[in-house]
Amino acid sequence: MTDRLKGTLMGVLFSLGAVVIWVILTFIGFIAGLAGALMGILFVMGYQKFNPSDKSKYVVFVACILIVVEIVVAELLAIAIIAGFYEVPFADALAIPEVQTGIILDVVIGLVLSFAVFVGYLYSRNRKNQLNDRRMYTGMPNAYPMPYGMLVERTYVMLKPGFLHLTGEIQSRIEAAGLRVLVRDERVLNGEILRRHYEEHLSKPFYPGLEEYMLSDAVCCMVVEGENAVAKMRELMGATKDAESGTIRGDYAESITKNVIHGSDSQQSAQREIAIFFPGF
C-alpha cells in the first residue's frame, strides 16, 4: 500500500470520526436545549412532576457547557475536514466564505439552544416560586394571591353515584360561576380511599350506609380552581338539607345521602382531599 493511499485512508477515517463526533455533540446540545425548554413549558402547563429542584441550576449549567463545547469542537472538526480535503492550511480553510457562513449558522443554532435552556429553566423556577408564594401567603399550596385582592383556590368536587348523567350540566354551572375544572375523572372508589376521605365520619352510625352507597357505582372526581373556589362551590352546591331551589342539591338531590355532590368545606379539606384522589396533582 503506497503512502499516498495510506494517507487518503487515514484522511477518510479521520473525516468519518470527526463527522460522528460532530453529530453526537450536536445531538446532545439539541436534546439539552429541547429538554430545558420542554421542562419549563410542561411545568407551566401544570405538570408539577417537572418541578425543578434546587440543584437544577447545575443541570442547566452543564447543558449550556455542552452546547458551547458542541459549537467549538464541531467547528474545529469541520474546518479541519475541509482543510484536509482541499489540502490547504487551516487558516485558508477558515477564510472560505461557505465555511464562515457555516460557522455563523452553527453559532446561531447554539445561541438558540442556550436560550431555550435558560427560558425553560427560568419558566420552571418562576413557577416554583409562585407555588412557594402560595405557601407563604396561606400556609398551603392550593391557594395563592392574585392582583386586586383576589384569592385563587383549588377545591375538590365529587359527583356521587347515580348522578354522573349530570356531569355536563354541573360543569356548566361551575364555569358559569367563573370557576374552571382543572381535571375530571370518573372512577369506582374502593373502601380504603373512601375511608380516608370520610375518616371523621367512620364512627358515626350513618357511615355503613354511606359507604355502601358510595361504593355502589362510579363517581366523578374533579379539581376546581378559581377565585374563592371553596366558598363559591359550597354556594353552588347548596345546603346538605333543605337546599334552596337553583342550587345543585336543591334541583337534583333525592335524599340527605343521595345529595348529588360533595365539595370541600375549607382550604385545609381541599388540600387533603385533592391529595387523596389526585396524588401529586
Q: Which range among 11-25, 123-137, 215-229, 260-274 shows the weakest confidence by mean pLDDT?
A: 123-137
Q: Which residues have C-beta within 8 Å of that of residue 122, sequence separation ≥ 6?
A: 40
Q: What pTM does this model have?
A: 0.50
Polymer length of the chain: 281
Q: Which fold has domain 144-277?
A: Alpha-Beta Plaits (3.30.70)
Model confidence pLDDT, tens digit, residues 161-199:
999 999 999 999 999 999 999 999 999 999 999 999 999
Model confidence pLDDT, tens digit, residues 100-159:
777 777 777 767 766 766 666 665 555 555 544 444 444 444 544 444 445 688 999 999
Residue 234 CA to residue 118 CA, distance in Å, equals 42
Residue 158 CA to residue 185 CA, distance in Å, equals 10
Residue 127 has a pLDDT of: 52
Helices (H), the chain: 3-44, 56-86, 90-94, 97-138, 167-176, 191-197, 207-214, 229-237, 248-252, 267-277
Average confidence (pLDDT) over 244-262: 93
Cβ atoms of residues 155 and 224 within 8 Å: yes
**Is the pLDDT confidence value at 64 over 90?**
no
Cell 453529530, residue?
A: 23
Mean pLDDT of the chain: 75
Strand partners, 223: 156, 183
Residue 260 region by backbone torsions, left for phi larger than 0, else alpha for psi between -120 and 50, else beta: left
Q: Which range among 6-10, 64-68, 103-107, 259-263 shows the weakest confidence by mean pLDDT?
A: 6-10
Residue 138 has a pLDDT of: 41
Picking from 223, 224, 220, 250, the residue whose alpha carbon sits closest to that of residue 237 is 250
Residue 242 has a pLDDT of: 85
197 is catalytic: no
Annotated domain spans of the chain: 3-138, 144-277
**Is the pLDDT confidence value at 98 over 50?**
yes
Strand partners, 185: 221
Residue 42 CA to residue 265 CA, distance in Å, equals 31
Model confidence pLDDT, tens digit, residues 217-251:
999 999 999 989 999 999 999 998 888 999 999 99
Cell 445531538, residue?
A: 27
Q: How confident is the model at residue 15 (pLDDT cuts 50, 70, 90)?
A: low
